């Protein structure tokens, strides 16, 4: 399938990158390049596959590229990248992860996090108000941390957090308990029960043959099933949920609702 992104890339084109491993699933290049084109901005965002072992070296090299203005960060680098910026903005400090970084006027790099706001905005735009919900979330990595903070900030009634890495899980639970004392927080548990929404914030479903991140077969049909994976758009979890008659919430809603915020963070404005 052929996509026309920018009419021309020239010597004065400003560069942006998205870094992750894997990277083939990333939809950000399509979304951001459409924004650049619509706004008449001479810029392009390109995907870069960078394994964790090479991250520090690769980011140091990218920082040295004079016409590279910003970087979008995806799995599995959102937490590690906090050590590779000069300054974390308040949301990123609170969450302990970033999903974007930019070169400031003084040449320093600063990072911020918009995954959580993108997710809750997307829920509301699709008619799903998180306030008052009981939520089960699998995943306490970079994106999972952002989602948990955003859901608690949005006023969910309770939040059950589960991750195969118990240290990450328990650390996130402790963060949410301290920051949002009005939210009932539960640690662990493989099976969501008595909830209004379940959320997959793990990579399970990105690769063929991945197991489901959790079992939904005992959930009531009125439970909303959400995934933050972008590709495939309908993950095995969402396909199973549709088969059972659940409402589903796609991962692309997160990206689409945070993209304008990240573009603004990058200083992108119509010409």
Q: How far apart are CA 52 and CA 191, in angstroms?
A: 31
Instruction: Give residue 55's Cα distance to chain centre.
Output: 19
- Answer whether 4's CB lies under 8 Å from 235's CB: no
- Answer whether 115's CB lies under 8 Å from 123's CB: no
Please choose, from the candidates 94, 199, 49, the residue with its C-alpha nearest in 3D space to the C-alpha of residue 137.
Answer: 199
- Answer whether 98's CB lies under 8 Å from 126's CB: no
Active site residue 125: no
Query: Could you give the C-alpha distances from 175 to 99, 150, 193, in angstroms and in order?
Result: 19, 12, 23
Sheet holding 100-103, edge to edge: 43-49, 14-20, 68-73, 100-103, 109-112, 87-88
| Selected catalytic residue, list 63, 78, 145, 168 | 78
Q: How far apart are CA 211 and CA 123, in angstroms?
A: 25
Q: How far apart are CA 15 and CA 12, in angstroms?
A: 9
Q: How far apart are CA 218 and CA 112, in angstroms?
A: 38
Q: Which residues of 249-264 are buried (b: 16+ CB within 10 A; e: fewer)?
A: bbbbbbbbbbbbebbe
Count of CB atoms within 10 A of residue 160's CB? 22
Q: Catalogue the active-site residues.
A: 78
């Amino acid at each position: 399938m052929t996509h026309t992104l920018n009419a021309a890339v020239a010597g004065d084109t400003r560069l942006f990158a998205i870094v992750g491993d894997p990277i083939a699933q990333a939809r950000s290049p399509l979304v951001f390049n459409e924004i650049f084109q619509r706004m008449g901005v001479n810029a392009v965002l390109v995907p870069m596959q960078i394994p964790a072992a090479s991250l520090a070296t690769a980011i140091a090299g990218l920082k040295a590229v004079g016409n590279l203005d910003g970087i979008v960060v995806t799995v599995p680098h959102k937490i590690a990248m906090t050590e590779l910026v000069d300054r974390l903005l308040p949301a990123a400090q609170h969450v302990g992860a970033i999903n974007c970084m930019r070169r400031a006027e003084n040449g320093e790099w600063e990072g911020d996090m918009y995954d959580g706001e993108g997710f809750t905005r997307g829920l509301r735009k699709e008619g799903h108000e998180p306030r008052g919900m009981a939520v089960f979330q699998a995943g306490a990595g970079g994106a999972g941390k952002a989602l948990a903070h955003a859901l608690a900030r949005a006023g969910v009634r309770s939040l059950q957090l589960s991750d195969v890495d118990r240290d990450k899980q328990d650390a996130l639970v402790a963060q949410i308990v301290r920051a949002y004392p009005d939210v009932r927080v539960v640690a662990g548990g493989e099976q969501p029960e008595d909830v209004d929404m379940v959320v997959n914030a793990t990579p399970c479903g990105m690769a063929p043959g991945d197991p489901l991140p959790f079992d939904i077969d005992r959930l009531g049909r009125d439970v909303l099933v959400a995934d933050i994976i972008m590709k495939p758009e309908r993950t095995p979890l969402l396909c199973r949920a549709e088969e059972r008659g659940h409402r589903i919430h796609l991962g692309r809603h997160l990206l689409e609702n945070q993209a304008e915020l990240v573009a603004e963070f990058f200083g992108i404005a119509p010409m």
